[in-house]
Amino acid sequence: MNRTELIRQIREKQSYLCVGLDTDFEKIPDHLKSADDPVFEFNKQIIDATHAFCVAYKPNIAFYEAMGPKGWISLQKTLDYIPKNCFTIADAKRGDIGNTSTLYARAFFKEMNFDAITVAPYMGEDSVKPFLQFAGKWVILLAHTSNSGSADFQLMESSSSHRKLYEEVILKAQTWASSGQLMFVVGATQAEKFKEIRALAPDYFFLVPGIGAQGGDLEKVSQYGLTNECGLLVNASRSIIYASSGNNFAKAAKAEARKVAEEMKLYLNKFS
């Protein structure tokens, strides 16, 4: 999906919600666990319930890798089931030397046909560039993440530029790819920094985890992060897919996704 189509979907749905499919077999409702493919059946019902309110889905690859070969089958079935008008993100956080990155890119872009993949930038340009060689596909680069350990390295300051490491990542990466192929991960728990981060990359989309269960402030993220073309994909995972653990889990997920989308509609009208 190209940038124009992504923006069109955001405008049509009046939402910039991304639903994270972090599906844990131990957490899905018990009545699904006897299905032929419990993880896919759970994802299928979540997608049916939420696709009207979101513009993207983001399976976290670790949840599927942990199940071995059957997990990859569940992932591919899930990906194939997602409506074509929804943006798909492989939350894989890959990043390695060039030849290895080329194979990771081939796996997720060519074989599985995701629209985007999350990539760690800390091995430098040659570890990221292979992912940028696939037309119509996106790299979503880790910049300022929402986890507590992000401060260990991302906030380290350069003695020469006096910029923090995550700021250097954002500025340097813009010389590698345009805003039609590159996004940045910026955690919602860093909402107070969104104004200055947006100034570093005014035309680029941000993938924003950390609302919902992690407590990020959607209003502040929207106030300081939205652009005239939206520029945000805000992810919610546990707060939506595990809104209920009972037989009504899909209905509860739908209600939570609708609630978030309605809030986003207000902010699109107010801030963008």
Mean pLDDT score, 22-49:
96
> What percentage of residues in the chain have a pLDDT greater than 90?
83
Q: Residue 225 — pLDDT band, cuts 50, 70, 90?
A: very high
Q: Measured between alpha carbons, how far is 72 from 94 in angstroms, rounded to an integer? A: 16
End-to-end Cα distance, the chain: 22
pLDDT of the residue at 155: 72
In whole angstroms, how far apart are CA 210 and each of 9, 143, 146? 22, 14, 6
Strands (E), the chain: 17-21, 56-59, 87-94, 116-119, 138-144, 182-186, 205-208, 232-236
- Which of 77, 93, 129, 172 does the annotation list as catalytic? 93
Mean pLDDT score, 213-232:
89
Q: 102-106, 215-219, 258-262 — which is least confidently predicted? A: 215-219
User: 216 with 188: CB under 8 angstroms?
Assistant: yes
Tokens of 167: 């700021």
User: Locate tokens 């299928």: which residue?
Assistant: 44
Specify the length of the chain in residues: 272
User: 56 with 81: CB under 8 angstroms?
Assistant: no
Confirm whether 70 is a catalytic residue: no
Mean pLDDT value across the chain: 94
Mean pLDDT score, 48-53:
98
What range does the domain containing 193 cover? Answer: 3-271
pLDDT of the residue at 35: 95
Q: Measured between alpha carbons, how far is 115 from 110 in angstroms, rounded to an integer? A: 10
Helix (H) or strand (E) holding 9, with range, is: helix 3-13
Mean pLDDT score, 139-168:
84
pLDDT of the residue at 116: 98
Q: Which of 61-65, 152-156, 190-194 has the highest mean pLDDT?
A: 61-65
Tokens of 80: 């194939």
For the stretch 57-115, pLDDT in tens is 999 999 999 999 999 999 999 999 999 999 999 999 998 988 999 999 999 999 999 99
For the chain, what is the domain count?
1
The model scores a pTM over 0.75: yes
Which of 218, 219, 237, 225 has its CA nearest to residue 201?
Answer: 225
CATH assignment at residue 16: 3.20.20.70
Strands (E), 215-272: 232-236
For the stretch 51-67, pLDDT in tens is 999 999 999 999 999 99
| Burial call 84-111: b when 16+ CB within 10 Å, e when fewer | eebbbbbbbbbbbeeeebbebbeebbee
Within 51-162, residue ranges assigned H as helices are 61-65, 69-81, 98-105, 125-128
Q: 6-20, 65-79, 181-195, 235-249 — which is least confidently predicted? A: 181-195
**Which amino acid, 163?**
R
Q: Per DSSP, what are the bridge partners of residue 205? A: 183
Q: Measured between alpha carbons, how far is 57 from 59 in angstroms, rounded to an integer? A: 7
User: 82 with 57: CB under 8 angstroms?
Assistant: yes
pLDDT of the residue at 212: 66
